[in-house]
Structure 1
Amino acid sequence: MGRRKKNAWNNLSLYIATRLAAMGLMMFDAESNLRSATAFGRMMYKIDKRHRERARNSIATAFPEWSPKQVEDVTLESFEQFLRLAIEVIHTPREVQHDTWARQITGRNLAPVLELLNARQPAILLTGHIGNWEVLGYFLAMLGYGIDAIARPIDNPYINDWLLGIRERKGMRIITKFDATERMVNVLDSGGVLGFIADQNAGDKGLFVPFFGRLASTYKSIGLLAMNKNVPVVCGYAHRIGAGFSFEMGVVDTIYPEDWENQPDPLYYITARYSRALETMIRMRPAQYLWMHRRWKSRPRHERLNKPMPNGLRKQLEDLPWMTQPELDRLMYTEKTA
């Protein structure tokens, strides 16, 4: 059997197994499956040493004032929360309906995004790997608001198509990285809303902005798109509340064009401000963040060369309206801790 045929067979086998597992899970109610997912999360925490250590180190970096017990408790709960996500994705089409969503979803400061959506004004809506980022777009699409979300395709094409069907069932459209640029521009030009998960590491060429007291490489594309199209950036979240299928959806910040037009470095300002909004979302419920991914993996050039922070970067940081001297002092600390 050739390698290509073997890979295709492996993908198909995994897809069939996944669909059978999903069918089996749908024989039970959401709350029962969520309890099981929590238990599997505790099991994963015990056996997956690599990701456990990575999450533990990330949490300790973000919250240096926490005790070892606090760090460990949140590490464990973050595994439990992560395993809940897959169950929630499977149950979302059944649980979030026009006549039932009010029992499962609570709004908080949603006026800014609803005002833009109702006016059919173009906007960028971003969130992070916090809570359930999938249900946020699904819910807005179910209410009749057209959302085009940027997503990386899953390597297994069968599973990718299946999940794509779930995501798009209520009208949300998925833009993959392969056709992203032209479609993103078209969405905003037509008055649509673009959704991003905005907390991925952007590599050595990203913009390094503050994130939990440490510089983190962040993509420039969101800020550039907002500036070029003169559209606001809405920073929102979907946090789990309670043990069942319930969420709080809210907005923590909306960045309007007039906010950045007089800034010394508008691109750096937008990127740093939405990164700050993501940090705010995480601080609200730290255990619901995906601490397993390596947010601080890439380091700025001066750290890699063990040199002082360049004056240009320091000036960018000092120009941020919310920057304080203690935070700036912490950012100047260059020892690699995560």
Structure 2
Amino acid sequence: MNSHASRPPVTKAAADYAAYAVLRVVIAVIQALPLSACEQAADMLGKLVGGLLGFRRRLVDENLTLALPEATPAQRRVVAQAMWRHLFLMVAEIAHAPRAVHRTTWRRHCRVRQMRETVATLLQDRPKVVISGHYSNFEFGGFMLGLFGFPSHTVARSLDNPYVDRFVNDFRGRTGQHMLPKHGSREAIETLLSSGGTLTLLGDQAAGDKACWVNFFGKPASTHKAVALFTLGYDAPTLVTATRRIGGPLQFEIELADQVDPLAEGFPYGSVPALTEWYTGQLERMILKAPEQYWWVHRRWKGTPPPRALKRLSQQASTQGQAAATETTAPQGTTADA
């Protein structure tokens, strides 16, 4: 057997290392600059990429038109440009966080809403699932979770460049956030949850035509079934959280959108579609608080739902529309159930 068969071609390895070296130089420059300068650079780059160059302009505008149907074209352009600014600023924050944020300084950079409820759940000797989305600086949220003394494991696709992948995962692991590859981690996840560990997941990733389809901003979106199965299969308390920028660089608020417990009496989300609809709705609600911080640049709506899923979603949308109309027309001082 050829011992070199599994090694990448020399040219690819060299190109990967060259890209990694460039990244390290960029990170070193960012770390040498004050955050105020990084903020100014992010603002200029946001205007350049989101405005003058219009990178992925059509995709971003299509997504924003769907999510913010009442916004004018000018308002959507403002949101798109602000999104790019947040993305560039996120890179600078990741570079500065290990040096700036630690156990004696974290209150300068982060406030946690519903801290008592969140900590009470995370302290339980049971498996836990924490769901977030591509919103603001979610990497900082994972960083803070470990800093607070709650180590977690995150499932993510490995980057194509192995050097960059190792570098990024080193950052994530500084405070106890361990990475599991998207493929081949079944046994590791089973061991983690069976031992009462915490699994963190992104709940807004497209998952192909055979996934669980739910409405996201009113349009069918495929969603990984595994996210809900981890909760239901292990009776794991599940939290939906968001890390939202509330000021300048490294100024965040971590918010608990909602949480559920499959062992609670009357638990209403006992199926994969029901639970997926619940956490997707919570993510949608959090995104609308600061839509410019969501990653509208990624393709959330891909593929076509099968007829059965499309029928279910159409019926659900019709029912919700009727309920909303009933609430709107109900006489003052009454409810739809009166």
The residue correspondences of 1:150-299 to structure 2 (distance < 5 A) are 150-258=155-263, 263=268, 266-299=271-304
Look up the match of 1:9: 14
Structure 2: which amino acid aligns with 1:198? G
Tell me by how many angstroms 1:241 deviates: 1.3
Identity %: 28
Residue 60 of structure 1 contacts residue 71 of structure 1 at CA under 8 Å; is this kept in 2?
A: yes
Tell me what 2:44 maps to: 39
Q: What is the aligned partner in structure 2 of residue 143 from structure 1?
A: 148
| SS state at 1:65 partner | coil
Q: 1:259 to 1:275 in 2, by over 3 A?
A: farther
Q: Which residue in 1 is equivalent to 2:134?
A: 129
- CA gap 1:48/1:272 in 2 versus in 1, 3 angstroms: farther
Query: SS at 2:27's partner residue?
Result: helix
Q: Matched residues in 1 for 2:56 and 2:39: separation?
A: 21
How far residue 232 of structure 1 moved from its aligned partner, in angstroms, is 1.7
8 Å contact kept, 2:49–2:84: yes
Partner-residue secondary structure (3-state), 2:85? helix
- The residue type equivalent to 1:156 in the other structure is N
Asked if the contact 2:151/2:175 (under 8 Å) is kept, the reply is no
Q: Is the 8 A contact 1:268 1:316 kept in 2?
A: no
Residues 261 and 174 of structure 1, relative CA distance in 2, 3 Å threshold: farther
Provide the rounded CA distance (Å) in 1 between the counterparts of 2:53 and 2:186.
37
Which residue is 2:322 aligned to? Answer: 325
Answer whether contact 2:235 2:263 (CA < 8 A) is retained: no
Select between 128-137 and 105-114 the one with higher mean Cα deviation.
Answer: 105-114
User: Does structure 2 retain, via aligned residues, the 8 Å contact 1:265–1:316?
Assistant: no
Would the alpha carbon gap of residues 3 and 181 (structure 1) be closer, same or farther in structure 2, given more than 3 Å must change?
A: closer
Cα-to-partner distance string for 1:277-306 (whole Å, 9 max, x where unaligned): 110110011000000111112221349xxx
Partner of 2:4: none
**How many corresponding residue pairs?**
319
**Structure 1 position 179, deviation (Å):** 3.0
Structure 2, unaligned runs of 5 or more: 1-6, 326-338
Deviations 1:81-123 (A, max 9, x none): 1111111111110121111100110111233321122234321
Pairwise CA RMSD of aligned residues?
A: 2.4
Structure 1 residue 318: deviation in Å? 7.2
Residue ranges of structure 1 left out of the alignment (5+ in a row): 329-338
Task: Note if contact 2:262-2:270 (Cα within 8 Å) is conserved in structure 1.
Answer: no
Aligned to 2:76: 71
In 2, Cα distance between the equivalents of 1:125 and 1:99?
25
Residue-by-residue CA offset, 1:130-171 (whole Å, 9 max, x unaligned): 011101111110121111111211111111111111110111
Q: Secondary structure at the match of 1:216?
A: strand
Partner of 1:335: none
Contact 1:55 1:291 in 2 (8 A): yes
Deviation at 1:315, TM superposition (A): 5.5
- What amino acid is aligned across from residue 205 of structure 1 in structure 2? K
| In structure 2, C-alpha distance between the alignment counterparts of 1:28 and 1:242, rounded to whole Å | 19
> 1:89 is matched with which residue: 91, 94, 98?
94
Counterpart of 1:38 in 2: which secondary structure? helix
Q: Give the corresponding residue for 2:335.
A: none
CA shift for structure 1 position 263: 4.6
